[in-house]
Amino acid sequence: MNAFKNQLTFAQETRLLALAAWQRALENLELRRDCPDAYHDELLRQSDEMDRLGMLSWDEWRDLRREADVAYLRAVAGDDYH
């Protein structure tokens, strides 16, 4: 796989890793079921940190927060238990 080595800049790789971590947090079913508030707070914290570091545009930041809000509302409605 050396053909893909060093294809991304440091900033691109950092952004990609941060977005992947946010996605893993979004898919954290255990936390979402056990503590929806902490789940939501973690998603918002990560999106705010990416914004603070300049990794996201305003639209991207807003979309991540909206997705976090929708997931939180599904969690508190009990959608994971159907």
The answer, yes or no, to whether residue 68 has pLDDT greater than 60, is yes
Percent of the chain with pLDDT over 90: 84
* Mean pLDDT taken over the chain: 93
Q: How confident is the model at residue 15 (pLDDT cuts 50, 70, 90)?
A: very high
> What mean pLDDT do residues 35-42 have?
97
The answer, yes or no, to whether residue 1 has pLDDT greater than 70, is no
Q: What is the pTM of this model?
A: 0.87
SS3 7: coil
pLDDT of residue 81: 75
Angle between helices 10-26 and 58-76 (to 10 degrees): 20
